[in-house]
């Protein structure tokens, strides 16, 4: 009987089917205003804490996006689709050939993760460089904006310093299936709002 789940034995709960939905609405109705405000504030604290951690990572790493997910197979075998990359972007560090950078080009919304293959350093300290995906046949000049043959430091979002394999697949699934994303967010929001303090 314990395995059937909470509320499955209540009269009028609809048994297993629909029982969870009825429990959810029943819990909401039984909550007084003070409990509801408390849960909403609790949810707001979780969201604001996550935002503060993200902003803190931006300050510490110097990168506008300290964590990114690899979306394509152009860097295989170094990185695979779904790998989570940790980035830094300290402007004093020189860019060197062989380094893996994440860069943004004008006209493209999604940053690209590729390896630096050539660097041109001028006497005044300006650096221009060329990138290429390890799994690609040609360099990235076809990806840059029209007439652009080299990248500059201003185009760099960050440089790969570490990674976790395949952890970012959840992000890819949520982007590929928006309904799954909204369902997951709704379940998480409902859990935080209805969670009882023990």
| Alpha carbons 63 and 104: distance in angstroms, whole number | 12
Catalytic pick among 74, 92, 109, 134: 74
| Alpha carbons 157 and 113: distance in angstroms, whole number | 10
Q: Is 140 a catalytic residue?
A: yes
Whether the CB-CB separation of 164 and 84 falls below 8 Å is answered with yes
Neighbours of 182 (CB within 10 A): 11
Please give the backbone phi and psi of residue 117, each rounded to the nearest 5 degrees, phi first. Answer: -110, -25
Q: Is 74 a catalytic residue?
A: yes
Neighbours of 14 (CB within 10 A): 14
Catalytic pick among 13, 23, 83, 114: 114
Catalytic pick among 140, 155, 176, 198: 140
Q: Is 23 a catalytic residue?
A: no
| Alpha carbons 166 and 145: distance in angstroms, whole number | 30
Could you list the active site residues? Answer: 74, 114, 140
């Amino acid at each position: 009987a314990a395995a059937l789940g909470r509320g499955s034995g209540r009269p009028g709960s609809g048994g297993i089917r629909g029982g969870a939905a009825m429990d959810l609405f029943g819990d909401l109705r039984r909550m007084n205003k003070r409990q509801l405000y408390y849960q909403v504030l609790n949810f707001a604290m979780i969201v604001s804490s996550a935002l503060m951690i993200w902003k803190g990572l931006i300050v510490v790493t110097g990168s506008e996006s300290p964590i990114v997910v690899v979306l394509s197979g152009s860097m295989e075998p170094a990185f695979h689709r779904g790998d989570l990359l940790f980035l830094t972007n300290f402007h004093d560090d020189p860019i060197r050939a062989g380094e893996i950078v994440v860069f943004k080009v004008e006209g493209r919304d999604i940053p690209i993760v590729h390896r630096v293959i050539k660097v041109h350093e001028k006497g005044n300290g300006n650096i221009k460089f060329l990138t290429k995906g390890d799994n690609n046949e040609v360099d990235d000049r076809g990806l840059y904006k029209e007439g652009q043959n080299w990248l500059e430091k201003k185009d760099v979002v960050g440089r790969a310093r570490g990674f976790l394999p395949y952890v970012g697949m959840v992000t890819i699934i949520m982007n590929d299936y928006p309904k799954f994303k909204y369902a997951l967010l709704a379940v998480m929001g409902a859990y935080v709002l209805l969670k009882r303090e023990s």
